[in-house]
Structure formats: structure tokens, C-alpha cells
Amino acid sequence: MNDGVIMPPQDTAAGLNPVLPLGTGTHRTGKKTVVIGVMAFAIMNFTTVVSLRGLPAEAEYGLVSIFYFVFAAIVALIPVALIAAELAATFPQNGGIFRWVGEAFGPRWGFAAVYWQWQAWMLWLPTVLIFGSSAVAFIWWPQHFDSALAGNKLYTIAMLLVVFWATTLFTFRGMGASVRLSTLGGLFGTIIPGGILIALAALYVAMGKHIQMPLNTGFFPDFGNAGNMVLAASIFLFYAGMETQAVHVRNLKNPTRDYPLAILLATVLTVVIFVLGTLAVGVIIPHKDINLAQSLLTAYRQLWASIGLPWLGNVMAAMVAFGVLGQVSVVVAGPSVGLLSVAKAGYLPHVLQRTNSHGIPVAILLLQGVIGTALCLAFTVLPSVESTFEILGQLSNIMFLTMYLVMFVAAIRLRYTQPDKPRPFKIPGGNYGMWIVGVIGLLGSLIAGFLSFLPPRQIATGSPEIYIGLLLAGTLLEIAIPFVIFAFHKKGWKAPDSDFEPFDWQTEGRSAGQVSKGRPLVPGLAIAIPPVAVAK
């Protein structure tokens, strides 16, 4: 155990995918900077990523899921964490992804990146609410009633709207209230249930019970059948959020050594938990019966029933439902507070900058509520709750991947446009190291993005043409919206109390495409990443 102290950020909820406000930075107690140890930082990153909601999707693949989890960790989780750490250490001012991309390409692209991040979380919310509504249904008896209720569209829509708006109104009480709820939800709704799931599955196997998962499939997928690999692309969404903890890289005693070590520990622990949790579901649920929204809850019930305690499955459903409430609380609050910083910097109208006495952006939260309500209309188009769960999850995944693509390119570009900028943490290997990590992340994101547009073979999503058309239309709309908003933004939108500091290229009197201190761009980079027009 490292001698550093565990000091999780105030809006980090154990076991969730928390989103830090964009202005979050170094922790201080009085005048003393808090030092975070390697193990403590690894745990912080682990609890940021791990969630149980997606285990049934990967249980579809059985032993092959191990390959997908490891592959996604190498090409997504690790590159995102390393690049975000360098960017956060280099640019510790307020802004997060908006500042990082804005330093490389100007505020237009920075605004687009932070908008895509916000919308990715917004699209993710209905999927976790669908899962939560299934958990609530499984609290009651009898079993057939539970399953039928969980698959009912009207019930799911009603639960989604009630919980979403109740959580939104609860958030008006301030970030402190949301953090307390999300922390308790993470502990009792994710970490403890996750450990119980794995322990029960191990006991089930040790008792010699029938294992439903085929054990002769091998560990490698059929690369010639892209349709069978679609659900695996959702693993990239499981890993989303690791960049949120990068803002604390300066709190490490030796960032260059401690950060990669902490990320390695967090990655190994995350992969192990995901793999064991996925196999636990596959052990008890037959492949043909796996349902994305219900199978985790069915697995709990059947595992407890195997030792004569089926009623504890209902208790687990209640715990999981509470965990979902915590997830929704932190995701409703976090992105909105982060977007407020960008709004006050002058990129959103004054009406969206309004806050209450707790500093909560009421207007942005209400806008989120309207968007969340509109997403319920997806239930009227798609054939089932499960297909809605899938398409919204994939669209969220695509938005995250789009944001990550821009972040990777921005990180590479900044190595050349700001070569002398102090970097407390720097990806090893000089510019070659950055290119290797960046290209791996780019290729991984492109592969996952391509797969996300294909209809999965394992789920009935209705007409493939409608499925692909909805994803394409949704993606194009989401990509275009921030550029349209930015085109109409006005200098007068900047709030008098904005704490957003100017970009480095602004203080140096140059454009984002020019090199700091007059250094010429490397010719190869100029070809790979052409200049981008900067809107000031």
C-alpha cells in the first residue's frame, strides 16, 4: 500500500461512471496540497469505470468475451487514460475536454467535443434507466410477473420519466446531495452486488451445478462475421469515463511513474471484475435466454435459488435499483455543472447560465429533462424495450468515440504546436510514444464506431434499414448541432463571473494552428493534421 492518502474527488461516486465538473482540479486542504497514493488513485479510476449494467451484453459471447474485454482495454481504456492524463497535467485550468481540444483547434472544435461528451451521457441515461426499471420490476413476486412487467413499454416509459424527473428535481438541492446519493448507490448498488454475483457463481460451479455457457468456443471471435461482434463494441462504452480522473494527475507524488502504474492496476482490476461478472451471468443463463435489460437480475435470482434462498434475488434487485438511482444522480448533475463553465465563457446564451442558490444550472438541467423526455419516443419506433436499450446505448457509444477521436488528434497536434509547454506527466517515448498511443486509440475508436452502426445478430431490432437509418440520422444530427450553435454564439454571452481563463494561444497572440514561440510545424504533421480554421 502506498503511503499516500485516499482522497476521492467530491463528485466521484464509487462504482459509477461519475462525471467531474469541467472546472475540477487539484485538491487542497487549506494551503496543503493533498497527495494521492498509487493504490488510492487506482481505486479511484476503478470505481469510475465499473458498472454491472452491461454484463449480459457480453455474456452473449461466453468465453470470447475475455478477448473483447482485454482488446478494448488495450485500444481504448489505456490510450484514453494516458492521453487525458498528459492533457490534464499540461492544461490544469478550467475547461476539461473543451480546453484540451480548444488549445489544439480553437473553441469551435472544443465546444463540439464538450457537447458530444454531454450528449453521450444524455443518451446513456435512458439505457441505465431502462435497466433500473427492470430492477424495480424484479423486486416483486411472482417471477413471470416480474419479467413481463420489465418488458412492458408503457411501464418502462413511466418509470423512466418518473425517475429521471425526480432525480433532476433532487439535483436542484446541490452537488453535495447528489454526491451523497451516488456514493451510497455505488457502494450498495454496484460494488457489493458485484462481489456477491461473482462469489455466488463460484459457489454454483463448485457445487457441480450445470454450467449453461459453452466451454468449447475458444477465446477468439469469428472475425469474418461483423454482425456477431456488434455487442462487443459496447465494451468501449463500459470503459468510458476514465478521462474524468485525469484532472488529479498533479496530486500524485511522482506523476511520471505513479500514473502509468495506477492505470495499469486499475485496468487489470477492471478487466478482471468485468470478465468474472460476465462469466457469472453466462454460467447461469442459457445463451438463447439472455436479455440485455433483465438477465443480470435473473442471474441473481437463480444463483440464490441454487442454494435455497430465492427471495434474496429480490433483495439484490432492490440493491441494483438503488445503484441505478445513484448513477443517474451523478450523471444528471456532473455534465450540467461542467457545461455551465463553458456556457459562462460565452458559448451558450444567458438563459442557459442561470443557477439557483446552490450553484446548480437549473436551465441546463431542465433542457436535459426535455431531451430525456424526447428520447422516450424511441419506444414508439423500435419493436421492444431491449432494442431501444441497444440503439440508445450504441448511439451513446458513438458520441463518446467521436469525442475521443478528436481528443487523440488534439493531443498529437499539441506536441508540435506547444513543444515547450511544461508537461508534469508526459507519455513516455517522446513524440513517437504519443503517436503510438494516439494511433492505437484512433484505430480502436474507428473499429468500434464502425461496429456500432451494424445491427446485432443476437437482438431483434426490427428492420435493419430502420435501425441503421436511426443511428446514422442520430449521429449526423448530434455531430452537426454544436457547430450550428457555435455559429450563432455572441461575445456578449460571456458572463461577468466567468472563471474560464484564456487559451494559451490567445495570451500569446497567435492562432491555435500556429506553433508557440514561432517554431515551424513538422512537415509530416502538417500533412497528417491539416490546419483548422479558428473561430475567435
Alpha carbon distance 205, 210 (integer Å)? 8
Average pLDDT value for residue range 11-27? 37
3-state DSSP assignment of residue 36: strand
Contact 351, 362 (CB under 8 A): no
Q: 523, exposed or middle or buried, with CB in 10 Å at 0-12, 13-18, 19+?
A: exposed
Check residue 200 and give its pLDDT: 92
**Residue 69 above 60 pLDDT?**
yes
Cα–Cα distance for residue pair 276/263, rounded to 1 Å: 20
**Where residue 14 falls among pLDDT bands split at 50, 70, 90?**
very low
Domain range for 374 is: 28-493
- pLDDT at 462 exceeding the cut of 70: no
More confident position, 144 or 124 = 124
Residue 165, domain member (yes or no) = yes
Euclidean distance between CA atoms 245 and 25, whole angstroms: 10
What average pLDDT does this structure show over 76-91? 87
pLDDT of 481 over the 90 cut: yes
CA distance 299 to 285: 6
* Selected residue with higher pLDDT from 521 and 358: 358
Distance, in Å, from the CA atom of 29 to the CA atom of 37, rounded to the nearest integer, reads 16
Beta strands per DSSP E along 161-243? none
Position 360 in a domain:
yes
pLDDT of 29 strictly over 50: no
Crossing angle of helices 295-305 and 143-150, in 10° steps, is 170
SS3 call for 508? coil
Is 511 contained in some domain?
A: no
Is a pLDDT exceeding 50 seen at residue 278?
Answer: yes
- Residues 402-426 pLDDT 10s: 999 999 999 999 999 999 888 888 8
Q: What is the mean pLDDT of residues 327-353?
A: 82
Question: Do 489 and 347 contact (CB within 8 A), yes or no?
Answer: yes
Give the C-alpha separation, 61 to 219, whole Å. Answer: 10
Q: Which residue has the higher pLDDT, 211 or 41?
A: 211
- Residue keyed to cell 450553484: 359
* Helices 153-171 and 362-375: angle between axes, nearest 10 degrees: 180
CB 521 within 8 A of CB 528: no
Which pLDDT does position 228 carry in this prediction? 61
Give residue 110's pLDDT band: very low, low, confident or very high (50, 70, 90).
very high
CA–CA separation, 514 and 518 (whole Å): 8
Of 5-9, 49-53, 251-255, 528-532, the least confident: 5-9
Count of domains for the chain: 1
Nearest to 372 by CA among 410, 415, 336: 336
20 pLDDT higher than 80:
no
Candidate from 180-189, 247-256, 311-320, 527-536 with smallest mean pLDDT: 527-536
**H/E segment holding residue 503:** none
Nearest CA to 15 among 184, 190, 193, 197? 190
First to last CA, the chain: 48
In the predicted model, is pLDDT for residue 526 greater than 50?
Answer: no
Give the model's pLDDT for residue 227: 60
Mean pLDDT, residues 314-326: 87
Count CB neighbours of 227 within 10 A. Answer: 14
**pLDDT tens digit string along 118-136?**
888 888 888 888 888 888 8
Residue 332 to residue 125: CA distance in whole angstroms: 8
Of the candidates 406, 392, 374, 410, the one whose C-alpha atom is nearest the C-alpha of residue 475 is 392
Would you give the DSSP letter of residue 316?
Answer: H
Task: Identify which of 3, 61, 10 has the alpha carbon closest to the alpha carbon of residue 36.
Answer: 3
Tell me the backbone φ, ψ of residue 36, rounded to 5 degrees: -100, 130
Which range of 236-250, 291-305, 515-529 scores highest in mean pLDDT? It is 291-305
- Burial of 429 from C-beta contacts in 10 A (0-12 / 13-18 / 19+): exposed
Per-residue confidence band for 388, with pLDDT thresholds at 50, 70 and 90: confident
Q: At residue 382, does pLDDT exceed 70?
A: no
Length of the chain: 536
- Domain assignment present for 8: no
Residue 337 has pLDDT above 80, yes or no: no
For residue 95, give the CATH number of its domain: 1.20.1740.10
- For 232-258, the pLDDT digits (tens) are 677 777 777 777 666 567 677 887 778
pLDDT at 209 over 70: yes
CA distance 308 to 258: 47
pLDDT at 523: 41
Question: C-alpha grid cell for residue 443?
Answer: 484505430
pLDDT, greater one: 79 or 125: 79
Burial class (CB in 10 A: 0-12, 13-18, 19+), 204: buried
SS percent in the chain: helix, strand, coil, step 5: 70, 0, 30
- pLDDT-based confidence at 225, cuts 50/70/90? low
Specify the pLDDT at position 39.
81
Residue 103: which of 117, 88, 118, 115 has the closest Cα? 88
Select, from the ranges 87-91, 93-97, 388-392, 477-481, the one with the highest average predicted confidence (pLDDT): 477-481
Give me the pLDDT at residue 23, please: 38
Q: Which of 186, 207, 150, 513 is nearest to 322 (CA)?
A: 186
| Side-chain half-sphere CA neighbours of 135 within 13 A | 26
Predicted confidence at residue 143, as pLDDT, reads 63
**Coil, strand, or helix at residue 7?**
coil
What is the value of pTM for the model shown? 0.80
Confidence of residue 483 (pLDDT cuts 50, 70, 90): very high
Is residue 61 situated within a structural domain?
yes
Residue 410 is assigned to a structural domain of this protein: yes
CA–CA separation, 148 vs 289, rounded Å?
Answer: 14
> Which region among 230-244, 435-449, 501-515 has the lowest average model confidence (pLDDT)?
230-244
Domain-embedded: residue 498: no
Tell me the DSSP string of 422-468. Answer: --SS--SSHHHHHHHHHHHHHHHHHHHHHHHTSPPTTS--S-HHHHH
Which pLDDT belongs to residue 244?
67
Task: Please give the pLDDT value at position 229.
Answer: 67
pLDDT score for 60: 76
pLDDT of residue 126: 82
Residue 535 predicted with pLDDT over 60: no
Q: What pLDDT does residue 156 have?
A: 82
Q: Residues 299-309: pLDDT tens digits?
A: 888 899 888 88
Q: Is residue 112 part of a domain?
A: yes
The number of angstroms, rounded, from the C-alpha of 179 to the middle of its chain's C-alpha atoms is 17
Inter-CA distances, 248 with 35, 243, 253, 508, Å: 10, 10, 11, 26
421 φ/ψ angles, rounded to the nearest 5 degrees: -65, 130
| Distance in angstroms (rounded) separating the CA atoms of residues 434 and 415 | 8
pLDDT at 520 > cutoff 50: no
- Distances in Å between the alpha carbon of 146 and those of 118, 134, 139, 150? 33, 8, 8, 6
Give the separation between CA 278 and CA 60, rounded to whole angstroms: 9
Could you tell me which of 269, 138, 286 has the C-alpha nearest to residue 194?
269
